[in-house]
Amino acid sequence: MTNVTNVTKVTKVTKVTNNQTSLGRRLRLGVVGGGLRSFIGSVHRGAALMNGQYEVTAGVFSSDPLRSLAAAEQLLVPRGYGSAAQMIRAESLRDDGIDVIAIMTPNNSHYEIASLALEHNLHVMCEKPLTNSLEEALALEKQVQKSQQKFCVAYCYSGYPMVRQAKAMIAAGDLGEIRMVQCNYVQGHLAQLTDSELDQSNWHMEPAIAGPDLIVGDIGTHCYHLANFVSGMMPSEISADNCTLVPGRKATDYTNIQLRYSNGARGSLWITQAAAGAEHGLYLRVFGSKGGIEWSQEQPNELLYRRLDAPAQCLVKGGPGLYDMANQASQMAIGHPEGYRESFATLYADFAESIIGSKLGSENKPSSEIYPKITDGVQGVSFIQATVDSSGKNGAWVKLNCT
């Protein structure tokens, strides 16, 4: 594999700086969920602060009001609240109230919190899956369409620079007509029953809370969104085999999904959290009539580009010849790893630019808003439901709604 050389038709640009000064202040962020022991909570808060566009001014960190207030004090968040509803209503009455709410609570609470936030004119950043039912997802979509509020769903992998490079290359026709899409997400941390499963303390393993299918809702929707985002296509129908491989587990831990596209292309998603010894394993491949790309999250700074008529190239983040979309997403200087938290930071930065543009008028809006929106969230919920329907019919082909 050769080192990267210049790709024709492209130029290198400097990353777009944040425009918080154009509003005169940082956006005020309120967070719901993500307490002291939460992995995802620290990721969201750290990512929001990374580019200087936000400040965390309010939060709810536990379903226990006293623990929530104590956590807010420990995290130095100025205003702690005992519940999401309390925070939303109280902040809406303040002159210095929050502009944006970030939701990282159990899945079955997303709809109620997001709906109330929209009613009180807040912009919403919501963890995936958007909701646990398609009916709720569609209701939220209608609410967003009627409001003036922005809505982002945290499909973080679309924030990696080399993922955006892949998207730009496909959109420019570098790969030709897309014929094959494959995305794997192979984890191993649930290869055995966990202590939290045995004592029922992990809500992710409870279908009534996490949703109708753990493996598809938790990481399968990431695969689905990533494949759609990069390829620019959504499948028209799917065939799924969702199942549980670890004895004694209530939730699903494995799925294999086949995809058919309206242009005749084919795809597949292999997703599990029960692969003993696997570390993370998010891997995307897309092939067209002229060549293909390959990206692995475990080597996030590199994108392998193969063509029919030239040697393979390893395109490197920050290197020469990348599309603007990739360079604008980069949070780190060349040679430094672009990691998981930085991908969230890119989404938060994109979201801030969109919000600030909407506050200042159309002439200040960014030229493109490629962060995952409410429609992406609805498509993810539709995908989950389609896999459940297909798997329940022994892998029968099922048409996707909302495509």
Question: Rounded distance, CA 102 to CA 83, Å?
Answer: 14
Q: Does pLDDT of 1 surpass 60?
A: no
Burial label for 179, CB within 10 Å (0-12, 13-18, 19+), is middle
Question: Rg (Cα) of the chain, in Å, rounded?
Answer: 21
Q: Roughly how many angstroms between the first and final C-alpha of the chain, as a whole number?
A: 37
Burial label for 158, CB within 10 Å (0-12, 13-18, 19+), is buried
Full-model pTM? 0.92
> Would you call the peptide bond into 129 cis, given omega within 30 degrees of 0 as the criterion?
yes
How large is the average pLDDT for residues 339-352?
Answer: 96
Least confident of 45-54, 287-296, 366-375: 366-375
How large is the average pLDDT for residues 367-392?
Answer: 94
- pLDDT for 31 equals 98
What digits encode the pLDDT tens for the residues 200-257? 888 888 888 999 999 999 999 999 999 999 999 999 999 999 999 999 998 999 999 9
CATH class of domain segment(s) 20-156: alpha beta
* CATH topology assigned to domain 158-337+371-399: Dihydrodipicolinate Reductase; domain 2 (3.30.360)
Residue boundaries of the structural domains of the chain = 20-156, 158-337+371-399
Q: Does pLDDT of 130 surpass 80?
A: yes
DSSP conformation class of 216: I
- If residue 366 lies in a helix (H) or strand (E), which one and from where to where? none
DSSP string, 295-318: EETTSTTEEEEEETTEEEEEEETT
What digits encode the pLDDT tens for the residues 259-318? 999 999 999 999 999 999 999 889 999 999 999 999 999 999 999 999 999 999 999 999
